[in-house]
Amino acid sequence: MSGTVEKNIVRESGIVAASAVGLKWNADIVTASTVTVEGNNGYWINTTSNAITITLPSAATKGDQIVLIDYARTWGTNKIIIDSNGLNYQGEADTFIVEYNTSGQSLNIVFSDATKGWIPLDDDVAAFAPSDPPTQRAIFGYGNSGSATAITNLVNSSGVIAADVSGVGTARQDLAAAGYGGDKAIFGFGQSPYTSITNLVNNLGVVSADVSGVGTARVVPSATEYGGDKALFGYGDAASGYVSVTNLVSNLGVVSADVTGVGTARAYLAACRFGSGKAIFGYGTTGSGNVSMTNLVSNTGVVASDVSGVGTARHNLAAAEFGVGKGIFGYGDSGSVSSLTNLVSDLGVVASDVSGVGTARKQLGAASYGGDKGVFAYGDSGSRVSLKNLVNNSGVVAADVTGVGTARDTLAAAGYSFSA
């Protein structure tokens, strides 16, 4: 008889149940391919290099307990196999194959009697889902002020936008930006003319010189952070037409080659983080009309297929994260400039339109700041503006605040810095 134990309970707390009184922890980390364990002992099992067969004692007394812990969170790569050594396991004879193959798992077994043998008290998975770091500051950069520019404006943790900083790198517009590395940012792509150059931003908000482009040169893509410390550029308008290709950015700011596109090719869309390490692309135009479709991005940077749109179809909008794992799409052009917003839940579900607050406009930027808030700024309301609208940690958009810095549109923005 054979079978595989695969389904495991994940506690919300991620806490392993307390062991019995008198449990002794083995001092050595187990790495060998086989090990024989003893009752009333706990073991750290490290399967980094190989699977490990755990041979249980050949004799046991009611109440004997054994605890096994995934030391390196690698059981999902290299499993453990339980050899019950002649005793029953959950009522099954020794010929029953028992495997545990989930990273971060712990196994707490207790011996009952000859009939049922060893019974798992717990086979939980300790949660390991790092939260995205709280972005404290933001940067708006580049754009068109009448001609392409490379100026930037820093935003402090209170949402105050600073005066212009002289531009670094190639002046351009119709680009995108995102956070990466937890506390840094990257500007990329844009029009000067079509380009794929990037500019990294350190955790002090200092923009670096141009980095030679990787991937398809294009304009009006969008970008977002994902996975806690990486970024993704996606979609856009290339010389060949609208595309759905993506380019991943490592946590060191290195841009990868094109990844074959998923979803409808489009441009002038927006993107932001949501949940724990996930992201969403939304809205835009396909060239034949505005759309409101979205594409979710996993915490490994995999883009999912189209999801039917919610809210008013529009393009030239912006998006930012706010609160705890939530997002907001705002403003844009639906045939006329708009100030509508659409909130995104921590599951990536887009809500219906919220009546606009502030000056209707398009071609603006947005970023998170202050740990749990967002800011929309600049854009074109019929003429270029430099005003801003802050978003609180409940997703409520505030009234216009008189702008700072050069009025411009077709710019990009991203959060950066752990420091307030």
Structure tokens at 303: 């883009």
CATH H-level superfamily of 137-416: Kelch-type beta propeller (2.120.10.80)
Beta bridge partners, 368, equal: 374
Residue positions counted in the chain: 420
Could you read off the pLDDT of 407-416 as tens digits, one per residue? 999 999 999 9
Could you read off the pLDDT of 300-341 as tens digits, one per residue? 999 999 999 899 999 999 999 999 899 999 999 999 999 999
Residues 111-126 as b/e (b if ≥16 CB within 10 A, e otherwise) read bbeeeebbebebbbbb
Sequence ranges of the domains in the chain: 24-122, 137-416
Q: What is the average pLDDT across 284-308?
A: 96
157 pLDDT band, cuts 50/70/90, is: very high
CB 396 within 8 A of CB 328: no
The full DSSP string for 65-88 is EEEEEETTS-TTTS-EEEE-TTS-
Q: Tell me the C-alpha distance between 342 and 313, whole Å.
A: 11
pLDDT of 18 > 60? The answer is: no
Q: Tell me the C-alpha distance between 135 and 374, whole Å.
A: 10
Q: What is the average pLDDT across 259-288?
A: 95
Query: What is the pLDDT at residue 127?
Result: 55
**Contacts with 405 (C-beta within 8 Å, 6 or more apart), sequence order:** 140, 151, 153, 161, 162, 163, 164, 378, 386
CA neighbor of 103 nearest in space, from 45, 17, 56, 43: 45
- Residue 321 CA to its chain's centroid (Å): 11
Could you read off the pLDDT of 240-250 as tens digits, one per residue? 999 999 999 99
Structure tokens at 308: 């039917």
Beta bridge partners, 92, equal: 89
Could you read off the pLDDT of 113-149 as tens digits, one per residue? 999 999 998 877 665 555 545 789 999 999 999 999 9
**Contacts with 158 (C-beta within 8 Å, 6 or more apart), sequence order:** 370
State the fold for domain 24-122.
Answer: Jelly Rolls (2.60.120)
Burial of 211 (0-12, 13-18, 19+ CB in 10 A): middle
For 355, list phi and psi in degrees, rounded to 5: -55, 140
Structure tokens at 44: 């750290």
CB atoms within 10 A of CB 276: 15
State the Rg of the chain over Cα. Answer: 26
Could you read off the pLDDT of 78-107 as tens digits, one per residue? 999 999 999 999 998 887 778 999 989 999
